[in-house]
Amino acid sequence: MFSFALGTGTHNSSGHWLEVFYPRPLLNPSAALVTQVCQILSCSKSTQAIPLQQDQLLRLAEGLRSIDTEQAQLCQQLAASKKPRVLMLLADDEKPATVPEVYLKLQLLSHRLARPHQLNLEGLFGLLPNVAWTSAGPIAVNELPQAQLAARLRGEILQVTSVDKFPKMTDYVVPGGVRIADTARVRLGAYLGEGTTIMHEGFVNFNGGTEGPAMVEGRISAGVFINAHSDLGGGCSILGTLSGGGKTVISVGKNCLIGANAGLGIPLGDRCTIEAGLYVTAGTKVTVLDNSGKEVQVCKARDLSGKDDLLFRRNSISGRVECLTNKTEIELNAALHSHN
């Protein structure tokens, strides 16, 4: 079995899932746990989302007590709730087919049980409903006006924080050892390694993130991964592959610096720097200089993809983009990224 999770979530008025919260998802659960669960519920070991009733949860709690005490305790807690409850079994890592599957995979990423690009997320946008995320919880968009009216009649105001297919990560997962200045700017499915600091203008999309430690004051698009000890300056941006036709998956190596308001459209190796305000895309014409400042060649930036120890800068006189050996060692403040 690839993954196992017990969860609770929200239905719309038609009984369709809007979202699912899995407190303790498991990747590669023990054969004993899966066998016991399938025997108790009389179900196969195939990929499926099984709605759970109170009596089923109580039987699971008893049956799992000697195998996994945490999962048994969770069954007890879920049994006391009136909210919709579900068991999600993933037999293998195929493209998701249901909302509970998508939410499980996104939470596996944010729990650091899987890294970006390790899970099949093909087609998830078509599965996820657009949801109004409110002070009263998730609400179907077409049911929002009635919910707003009901709140007003109670003398309350229903606050709508966003209308989106993705919720913020911290409503589901808060990984240890991180600091997030504005939680609305980190989507569920982001992977934040220990020691990561996300400042107020930093943004991290699903299926992307940081190995940690890292300083993020710029944008990490979906699919982008930042390796350890790298710094993304204020307002910088890294190209993703969700739209616009781009196919190259961008990564940033270790000990790199992307300057404020700079941009990146190629993978970077280790110990690379991009000057503040400079946007380097795959087609950018780059003049390569040797250590004495002599021109060696002119190439496209994609030809320098993944190479270590590079400094990209714009010549302030000629305006040309230049690349030379990076002589600056990027070091993060250790105290700043210790978030115990």
Which residue, among 62, 94, 95, 79, has the nearest Cα to 6 in the 3D structure? 79
Pairing assessment for the beta strands 48-51 and 85-90 based on DSSP bridges: antiparallel
Q: Is the dihedral of CA 199, 202, 205, 208 positive or negative?
A: negative
Would you report the helix, strand and coil content of the chain in percent, each value rounded to 5? Answer: 20, 30, 50
CA–CA distance, 85 with 41 (Å, rounded to integer): 14
Beta strand 131-134 with 137-140 is antiparallel
Cα torsion 76, 77, 81, 87: sign: negative
Q: Which ranges of the chain does DSSP label H, i.e. alpha helix?
A: 31-41, 54-64, 69-79, 99-110, 124-127, 144-153
Q: Which amino acid is present at 48?
A: Q
- 273: which 2 tokens? 């720097």
For the chain, report the end-to-end CA distance as a whole number of angstroms: 34
Task: Evaluate whether 146 touches 130 at the Cβ level (below 8 Å).
Answer: no
The answer for residues whose C-beta is within 8 angstroms of residue 68's C-beta and 6 or more apart is 30, 33
Tell me, yes or no, if 217 is annotated catalytic: yes
Report how far residue 288's alpha carbon sits from residue 199's, in angstroms, rounded to the nearest whole number.
34
Give the C-alpha distances (Å, rounded to integers) separating 39 from 25, 27, 63, 69. Answer: 20, 20, 10, 18
How many Cα atoms are found within 13 Å in the side-chain-facing hemisphere of 88? 34
Helix orientation angle between 54-64 and 31-41, rounded to the nearest 10 degrees: 140
Active-site residue among 194, 217, 275, 322? Answer: 217
Q: What positions carry a catalytic annotation?
A: 217
